[in-house]
Structure 1
Amino acid sequence: MIRYLRTFLPWIAFAVLSTDTEARWGALAALALSAVLLAGDRRAGRGWDELVLEVGSALFFAALVIASFTISPAPLGAYGPAVSVGWLALISWGSLAVRRPFTLGIARQSTPVEVQASPLFHRVNAVITAVWAAAFTLDALALAVLYAVAPHAAVAIVAVKVCAFVIPAIFTLRYPRIVRARYAV
């Protein structure tokens, strides 16, 4: 789970440092953090195919930094959280479409090599990635609706954001255990 948290650190920094009218500093911090984490991952020997989410995050924040420092007012406005989570959904669904679920690289960090070669390992990660993709998609849609109809409903907005990460995180912890028990792997 620490690996997942590390992967999402740029998004957490962006969420903490950005407001509806000021995304520049959050985007810049997230881009810097993305670059540092990506460089560390590459130095540690992780391949580009294992860094799908990390590369997608860096690209998003690079584009947002350029846009936020050249466009006024803030390019995403109140819809920034919905757009950013929508980008995570696109990365997740895209990784499934190319049969490289973004969770594979993270899971390999704590899985024996002989297990990594099994079709079941890939299937488990495809399911986990699909849960994350669905959560990101629902989060983006819910945030867009909330910002459109109740932009000051801070408690609801925070609840949607938290649920979109906590629910798939819990699933990510539990599902491999269920599969191991079912197949005695």
Structure 2
Amino acid sequence: MPESSGRTPMRGPPGILWGFAPLIVYAVFAGSSVEQAKIALLAALVAAVVAGCHDLPKGRVMAWANLAIFGLPLAALGLFGQAWIISWMNVLVYAGLAAVAFGSVLARHPFTLQYAREMVPKEIQEHPGFLTANRFMTLAWGAVFAINLGLSSAAVMGPPGYKGPIVLLTFLVLAAGIAFTLWYPSHVRKRKGAAGDRGGPGQR
């Protein structure tokens, strides 16, 4: 039975995972001093360009969002000396990512759809089930970013001793989002396959 006849497969892992490379690079290099922050932001910006070399020309919103999320704070810190950005950087990053995720759903163009369409046959790309699956995945990432936005805000405004554990918790939440992204496409395929088997000729 061809995939286009009622089934809505999603293949993984999605290329969207490359979009989180700048965030991971920033976290590795981030520090409390101005120089450390500049190095971390510059490294993240370079990662955004490298990871997005194929996505930027295609106009993918996450690739361009990464340039803005890390490029604008670097300019504000390096050119205008806005040192307050160092403490609030994680808040700004997750606020920007959450805005991209939820904004793309509201605009009826979930950002994961830009990646997923390259992983399925053309006849599947406008299938309602395929679009629903991508809305769900984008909303899931929006939830991840919103949770980490709240945690990052608490790390800045809460007692200093809590900052380390809270930052670690944000990485665990992000890891859960990545695990979900790796698992969800195969789950959709299996669910659609099971539905197709139940409706097959051998069923009464």
Please, what TM-score do these two structures have when normalized by structure 2?
A: 0.77
Runs of 4+ more than 4 Å apart: none
Give the paired residue count: 180
In structure 1, C-alpha distance between the alignment counterparts of 2:17 and 2:138, rounded to whole Å: 15
The residue that corresponds to 1:163 in the other structure is 172
| Residue matched to 1:40 | 54
In the alignment, which residue of structure 1 is the partner of 2:41?
27
> How far did residue 127 of structure 1 move?
0.3
**How far off is 1:61 after superposition?**
1.7
Offset at 1:101? 1.0
Deviation of 1:103 after TM superposition, in Å, equals: 0.9
Task: Tell me if the contact between 2:48 and 2:67 (Cα under 8 Å) persists in the aligned partners.
Answer: yes
Q: Secondary structure at the match of 1:4?
A: helix
Paired position in structure 1 for 2:25: 13
- Aligned-residue Cα RMSD (Å) equals 2.2
Larger Rg: 2
User: Paired residue for 2:126, among 106, 117, 125?
Assistant: 117
For normalisation by structure 1, the TM-score amounts to: 0.84
Which runs of no fewer than 5 residues in structure 1 stay unpaired?
A: none
- The 10-residue stretch of structure 1 (25-34 or 53-62) with the greater mean CA deviation from structure 2: 25-34
| d(CA) in 2 for partners of 1:85, 1:141 | 9
SS at match of 1:162: helix
Which of 151, 154, 174 in structure 1 is aligned with 2:183?
A: 174
- Equivalent residues of 2:25, 2:43 under 8 A apart: yes
Higher percent of residues as helix:
1
Q: 1: CA distance between counterparts of 2:31 and 2:52?
A: 25
Q: Which residue of 1 aligns with 2:5?
A: none
Q: 1:118 to 1:54 in 2, by over 3 A?
A: same
